[in-house]
């Protein structure tokens, strides 16, 4: 049984006050004893500390949205993975399509960041997903396999206990265009099959694969009830407790 993960990617949103109050509202739903689902929020780096304070004592986990593949040193503007663990973060999102699209992150960079994150004690949420034109050209499977091959290069089966995959079709991110339940399930099966071939059946069975792309309370139950969808990476809807909490509930309903 894979425990569902509901993760919120706040992107470059919130301010100090709203980050703290949003985290507090979500933390209220996630007592330390909660063991049906895992809930993670990934605020902007400058608000990590206040969000960690708001989450303190609860079961809410906190992650970064990105981190450097370098050790601390002369890298202006960067955040080292060890700085995230030092603060108390448990996770880091890597290879989000916005990082790939706007900051030129290729699979090789995602791979070195993933290795650094794991070596620093973080769990990595590694994002993959196809562009609309790639889907329309029938290239989805090839794109996903190539991103997985590059992003997870050199990792061992053991390393994979600290890796979560997020399938985020780029055409569904922030667009309101959600993948159908069948499209999501088909992509997740493809990713799980790849995990079995690259690692083994235990890794394939244990690795959580999240769906991301315009997840909202009204489509969450359908997506999350797919056999190979183990949770959601949520952007816009994670910024409002009244939207994110029902998505957490939908995840919990799949294991009730």
Tokens of 40: 């993670």
CB of 151 to ligand PEP, least distance (A): 16
Question: Is 233:187 a contact under the CB 8 Å cutoff?
Answer: no
CB of 35 to ligand PEP, least distance (A): 25
* Residues 6 or more apart in contact with residue 149 via CB below 8 angstroms: 107, 198
Pick 164 or 203: Cβ nearer ligand PEP: 164
Q: Which residue is it, tokens 């895992």?
A: 38
Three-state secondary structure string covering 201-251 = HHHHHHCCEEEECCCCHHHHHHHHCCCCCCEEEECHHHHCHHHHHHHHHHH
Pick 107 or 168: Cβ nearer ligand PEP: 168
CB of 172 to ligand PEP, least distance (A): 6
Pick 117 or 233: Cβ nearer ligand PEP: 233
Residues tagged active-site: 96, 168
Binding site for ligand PEP (CB under 6 A): 9, 11, 168, 173-174, 212-215, 233-237
């Amino acid at each position: 049984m894979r425990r569902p993960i509901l993760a919120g990617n706040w992107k470059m949103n919130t301010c100090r006050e709203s980050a703290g109050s949003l985290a507090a509202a979500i933390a209220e739903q996630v007592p330390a004893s909660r063991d049906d689902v895992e809930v993670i929020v990934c605020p902007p780096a400058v608000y990590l500390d206040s969000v960690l304070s708001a989450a303190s004592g609860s079961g809410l986990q906190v992650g970064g949205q990105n981190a450097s593949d370098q050790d601390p040193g002369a890298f202006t503007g960067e955040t080292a993975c060890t700085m995230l663990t030092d603060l108390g973060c448990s996770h880091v999102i890597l290879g989000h399509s916005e990082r790939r699209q706007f900051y030129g992150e290729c699979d090789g960079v995602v791979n070195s960041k993933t290795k650094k994150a794991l070596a620093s004690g973080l769990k990595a949420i590694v994002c993959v997903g196809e562009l609309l034109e790639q889907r329309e050209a029938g290239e989805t499977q090839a794109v996903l396999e190539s991103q997985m091959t590059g992003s997870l290069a050199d990792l061992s089966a053991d390393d994979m206990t600290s890796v979560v995959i997020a399938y985020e079709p780029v055409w569904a991110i922030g667009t309101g265009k959600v993948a159908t339940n069948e499209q999501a399930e088909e992509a997740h099966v493809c990713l799980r099959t790849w995990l079995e071939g690259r690692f083994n059946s235990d890794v394939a069975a244990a690795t959580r694969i999240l769906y991301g792309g315009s997840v909202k309370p009204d489509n969450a139950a359908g997506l999350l009830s797919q056999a190979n969808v183990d949770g959601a990476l949520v952007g816009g809807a994670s910024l409002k407790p009244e939207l994110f909490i029902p998505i957490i509930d939908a995840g919990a309903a799949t294991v009730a």
